[in-house]
Amino acid sequence: MDAWEERFYGNPNAVISELSTGKSVRVEVYCETKKQGLEIQKQFGGSLRELKMKNWAAINAQPRPPLKIRDAVVITGSRDSKEKEKLKNEFPKRHVVQIPAEMAFGTGDHATTSTCLRLLVDQARLQEDDWDMLDLGCGTAVLAIVAKLLGAKCCEAHDFDPQAVKVSRDNVQLNELEGIVVKEQDVLKWSPKKQWDIVVANMFSTILQQAFPTIVACMKPEGSLIVSGILVDQWPETRGVAESAGLEFEKTVKKGKWMTALGRLRED
């Protein structure tokens, strides 16, 4: 259930319920068009049927307020250029980012993503010139986009999901940014060729635990790591695996049932 909630977070028309047996869940997504339903079916499977009585998507969809990150960034789910200009005028000292809520990807307000964003702002302010950033499990690439606006010279955003890669590239283009490379990449099959100043890995703990050796190989000696996507009760085990890989954590943030942590390479 946690996996499906994470995947469809930000989609107000998704209903996830546990079946009476307690061994499986049902995911129902109400779409405005048949095309949207077919896209979800193609990606996740399942069956499609038409509801004629009411437009449930239009009824349930509620515009989300802009997400404010520290005093540095405002994130809107709107594609409207007028809305962006309005926010620029309202928050003249902040970067305004447009991350539309696409099919199965949120706009950055999930507990894991928003906490990563806040830690990213904090770490960006500590960087000197010519720093770079790697976003693993990028989803919408909101973290890479924000890093670029905060001064990163170049950013890479990776995801194993081709739909996430497409959405990420669309978002980079929508925000009119250069210097962000989006790649379809499975972190468990990847051998990094360089190192980054800031690495963010927002993935489920089972993947993180397997990926820690690769993540360590991505980090510059003085670099920082932000990890999230970890349920509270999975944190002790995940932390232990990370420490065995050569990491140490200086800050942890609990938000709801999720943990986010800031780490560095351990000095032996």
Share of the chain above pLDDT 70, in %: 91
**Which tokens hold the place of 10?**
């930000």
Q: Is the pLDDT at 153 greater than 90, yes or no?
A: yes
The dihedral built from the CA positions of residue 209, 214, 217 and 218, taken in this order, carries a sign that is: negative
Of 180 and 163, which is predicted with more confidence?
180
Domain boundaries, the chain: 2-60, 108-265
Name the residue type at position 148: K
Q: Please tell me the pTM assigned to this model.
A: 0.80
Closest CA to 25 of 1, 3, 6, 47: 1
Average pLDDT over residues 236-258: 96
Q: Is the pLDDT at 13 greater than 80, yes or no?
A: no
Of the chain, the end-to-end C-alpha distance in Å amounts to 40
Closest CA to 115 of 218, 1, 200, 197: 200
CATH superfamily of 108-265: Vaccinia Virus protein VP39 (3.40.50.150)
Distance of CA 258 to the CA centre of its chain: 14
Which of the four pLDDT bands, split at 50, 70 and 90, describes residue 251? very high
